[in-house]
Amino acid sequence: MVDTVGIVGLGLIGGSLARRLTERGVRVIAWNHRSHPYAQAEADGIFCKSTLSELMDAEPDVVVLCNPLKAMPSILAALAPLMGDHPNTTLTDVGSVKGMVRDQVKAAALGKCYVGAHPMAGNELSGWQAADPHLYDGALWAITVDESTDYRRFLDVAAMITKDVGNRVIVVDDETHDKAAAMISHMPHVVSTALINELVANPDRNIAAALAAGCWRDMTRVSLTDPDRTRAMVEEDSLNVEVLLRRMAARLTDMADQLHAGADGEQDVMGFFAEGDPFRRYKAAVTRAGITAAQAGTATAQQAGTTAAGFPERELAVPEAGWQQTLLFSARRGEAITGFIHPRQAIVQLRPAM
């Protein structure tokens, strides 16, 4: 379904995607705000263009915006007049917040051709020099849709991810995505930073740091990444992060109250430590399933370009009306799309769920 993909931005995420798609036989056209990666990218088989207009003239089926979020409004403004001449091209992006990007896309009058996306891939590095097609090994992508999303355009993006990149997909609305990202990344980054702030304020910080071992190292690792990048990420999802920070503060205060109560709070202290058991069981099940999958299908999994071919799969019918809802419910059950038998019949992988 997708012959040609346009990549805007050849940083870590865009460069890795361009290299992976090229390796897997897709024609990739790329534009970067500076041309320094072009010589090496061309050597890798990527067709580099000096303007967005030339990129669009190559008639990409899908254009993936891999530029930094802060460049999004200007890139969209430059693309808007060009997209009008290529009404069949689908626009997507890889931004880590989805509500804000959709608002910007709509403001540029590009809402009709847009489907959001967010690959769960990355590392501490950045830039073309760090680009690596293996960055996407076994990755899951969120595709974000709303009630007006065109199903054909969704299929283009989903097919690119499952067939051409060889990854898995879940389909969610922007709000669900941004709340989930706040839960498992944005809010925890603030918590990690608060931990090191508390240590710095501690009069015995050097003694505490000397005694620190694995727990402290792991819980503060993300506080060491560029604090400006973290700040931007938190501010872009600030409403969701704010709510979760208040909930976390209430949980910590509640636990402090139980500890203060001593023997009277014993039951509640035990309850606090038991409350997370569904997550502990989920992690144990994922680990078990992963081990089984690795034992069962290492060679097969590598051939298929995934790392978890051992998880069971089933078919899922996608209705014409309310397809967004059907796919969201599937994601809530812990399923992920691995491909399509035909446009209205998806294959979903079943993973452990809480």
Q: Does 306 bind a second copy (CB under 8 A)?
A: no
Taking contact as CB under 8 A, which single stretch among the options 2-10, 109-117, 182-190, 299-307 is the one that binds a second copy? 182-190
Binding test (CB under 8 A) with a second copy, winner from 104, 149, 162, 223: 223
From residue 155 to residue 174, what is the string marking binding to a second copy with x (rule CB under 8 A)? ---------------x-x--
The end-to-end CA distance of the chain, in Å, is 35
Tell the smallest beta-carbon distance from residue 39 to a second copy (Å).
32
Tell the smallest beta-carbon distance from residue 57 to a second copy (Å).
36
Binding test (CB under 8 A) with a second copy, winner from 206, 298, 302, 345: 206
β-strand pairing of 313-317 with 140-144: unpaired
**Residue whose CB is less far from a second copy, 329 or 341:** 329
**Residue whose CB is less far from a second copy, 32 or 230:** 230
Please say whether the beta carbons of 334 and 316 come within 8 A.
Answer: no
Angle, alpha carbons 296-167-335 (nearest 5°): 75
Binding test (CB under 8 A) with a second copy, winner from 39, 109, 208, 296: 208
* 137-156 binders of a second copy (CB under 8 A): 140, 142
Tell the smallest beta-carbon distance from residue 269 to a second copy (Å).
6
Strand partners, 182: none
Residue 277 neighbours by CB under 8 Å, 6+ apart: none
Binding test (CB under 8 A) with a second copy, winner from 77, 209, 304, 341: 209
Taking contact as CB under 8 A, which single stretch among the options 74-82, 108-116, 125-133, 206-214 is the one that binds a second copy? 206-214
User: How many C-beta atoms lie closer than 10 Å to residue 71's C-beta?
Assistant: 13
For residues 26 and 77, what is the distance between their CA atoms, to the nearest angstrom? 27
For residues 91 and 65, what is the distance between their CA atoms, to the nearest angstrom? 8
Sheet architecture: strand order including 90-93: 47-48, 27-31, 4-8, 62-65, 90-93
Which stretches of the chain are assigned E, i.e. beta strand?
4-8, 27-31, 47-48, 62-65, 90-93, 116-119, 140-144, 168-172, 313-317, 335-342, 345-350
**Residue whose CB is less far from a second copy, 27 or 351:** 351
Tokens of residue 123, six digits = 């590392």
Tell the smallest beta-carbon distance from residue 81 to a second copy (Å).
31
Tell the smallest beta-carbon distance from residue 303 to a second copy (Å).
24
Q: Does 347 bind a second copy (CB under 8 A)?
A: no
Tell the smallest beta-carbon distance from residue 270 to a second copy (Å).
7
* 238-297 binders of a second copy (CB under 8 A): 238-239, 241-253, 255-256, 259-260, 262, 269-270, 272-280, 282-283
Nearest to 272 by CA among 247, 257, 255: 255
Binding test (CB under 8 A) with a second copy, winner from 82, 130, 195, 294: 195
Binding test (CB under 8 A) with a second copy, winner from 336, 337, 346, 348: 336
Q: Does 94 bind a second copy (CB under 8 A)?
A: no
Please say whether the beta carbons of 349 and 333 come within 8 A.
Answer: no
